[in-house]
Structure 1
Amino acid sequence: MPMTSRTAIVTGAARGIGAATARRLAADGHAVAVVDLDEADARSTADAIEAAGGRALAVGADVADETAVARAVERVAAELGPPAILVNNAGILRDNLLFKMSADDWDAVLGVHLRGAFLMSRAVQSHMVEAGWGRIVNLSSTSALGNRGQANYAAAKAGMQGLTKTLALELGKFGVTANAVAPGFVQTEMTKATAERIGVPFDDFLAHAAKETPVGRVGQPEDIAAAVAYFCSEDAGFVSGQVLYVAGGPRA
């Protein structure tokens, strides 16, 4: 059967995993709203999608801002159509050891990751419920299991899993599924910034991560996008409330 084209929203889609996911969903035939804090940054991803023959809209919005989220979703619905797919990918890092971590850095990370996912999910669910079909995919992380220097990020990513399972319970009867993808080490600008912060050359950082990964390489944004695309597909209609670790295998 031919795939049904729907409207998708991907947050944090200016670069990295979000950009790869937006491009993959567009390649799958969906119209994609590329949401990021700076609309100019989002436009580069949207332009790439359109250059490849897809439909895209660049939207600037702070996902932690309730009013901005409402306006963004309204704009997407008006210009691309009611959103049926939501990928909550927006995120930031404010890493530090617990005794050095400020309350502001804690709040900023929880705000973008967890509050942002809540606000976006709440804003789109009415469109999905009305249509009787929807897909919500939240980006978690292997850091949800705990990671030194990331108390805020780990808590946010663990919270994404709890949010996912609750959305699955509440929205399932309306034809809406909710799942999470938890990446391991992925080569992005964010991991490059982490290497710079700790004073390690990025090539060495990548080599160490690859050595610690059973498949012998680090992840690429496209690896994560492929997993997200499955959860967004028609084929995943009986899969909900799940957390898929896309990390190249378990660590010993």
Structure 2
Amino acid sequence: MSRTFLITGASKGIGLALSAHLAANGHHVVGLARTSPRDFPGTFIPVDLGDDDATRVALDDITQRFDLDGVVNNVGLVRPALLEDVTLPALDEVFGVNLHPALLAAQAALPGMRARRWGRIVNISSLTILGIPHRTAYAAAKAALVGFTRSWAIELADAGITVNAVAPGPTETELFRANNPAGSEGEQRYLSGVPMGRFGKPGEIAATIAFLLSEDAGFMTGQTLHVDGGASLGRSLF
């Protein structure tokens, strides 16, 4: 069955890989992000997801045009800083981009999903929720998405709507590679924490998300899946 899924942060990385995966399997994807990709496999609506009013307008337009079967809250913002350098404006900005669109998108899709008694919400969290230097704001925001996931899952369990989260580890996106070039100290630091000894591929993360959006995942809700090459297990002592 072909369904319609809304994906925020859909213009690159995991969001774009997921859009391509879903489209290849016959689904309609509605993508939101600030910048339009060159070739998007669905309907793309450019919007600054850090602007709450603009996001509301875009979501209102989308829900009038499409019956949304699911939402993937993927957009994120990182403002790396040591604890002593974190500012309240930066903290608020990171919380705003990571959390406000997630809430607004879920609220926009909810009436239709309730009416059809079928729906999927997937929140994209991060390995950083387990603790990492320089990520006070980002880790807290991604942990809040896990809180959203568990609370919404309980609220919607009897409505035919599942809510789950995916927490990727280091993933070889364009942005990650720009900040951690091959052979760099950053690359080695990240690799040292991944038992598999490699980075994830956007398509691998997308495949997990796609499963959670599928019919086959109908009895799974409130869960956070770590897709991270074993990084969430910790380092071996031997």
Same fold (TM over 0.5): yes
Q: CA-to-partner distance for each residue in 1:109-134, whole Å, 9 max, x for gaps?
A: 11011122111111111111111100
Match of 1:58 in 2: 44
Distance 1:25 1:140, change over 3 A: same
The farther-off stretch of 108-117 and 60-69 is: 60-69
Partner of residue 171 from structure 1, selected from 152, 156, 162? 156
Partner of residue 7 from structure 1, selected from 4, 16, 40? 4
Counterpart residue type for residue 118 of structure 1: L
Shift of 1:100: 1.0
Counterpart residue type for residue 89 of structure 1: N
1:124 aligned to 2:121? no
After superposing on structure 2, the runs of 4+ consecutive aligned residues of structure 1 that deviate more than 4 Å are none
Aligned counterparts of 2:208 and 2:17: Cα–Cα separation in 1: 11
Match of 1:74 in 2: 60
Aligned counterparts of 1:233 and 1:203: Cα–Cα separation in 2: 38
Shift of 1:45: 4.3
Match of 2:209 in 1: 228
Match of 2:24 in 1: 27
1:190 aligned to 2:171? no
Aligned counterparts of 1:92 and 1:192: Cα–Cα separation in 2: 16
Q: CA-to-partner distance for each residue in 1:162-201, whole Å, 9 max, x for gaps?
A: 0001111111211100000000111123323543xxxxx4
TM-score, scaled relative to structure 1: 0.87
Counterpart residue type for residue 91 of structure 2: W
Residue ranges of structure 1 left out of the alignment (5+ in a row): 50-55, 196-200
SS in 1 for 2:76: coil
Match of 1:203 in 2: 183
Shift of 1:137: 0.3
Superposed CA RMSD:
1.6
The farther-off stretch of 207-216 and 162-171 is: 207-216
Q: Is the 8 A contact 2:191 2:199 kept in 1?
A: yes
| Residues paired across the two proteins, number | 232
Give aligned-pair identity as a percent: 39
Aligned counterparts of 1:64 and 1:165: Cα–Cα separation in 2: 24
Residue ranges of structure 2 left out of the alignment (5+ in a row): none
1:17 aligned to 2:14? yes
Aligned counterparts of 2:220 and 2:45: Cα–Cα separation in 1: 30
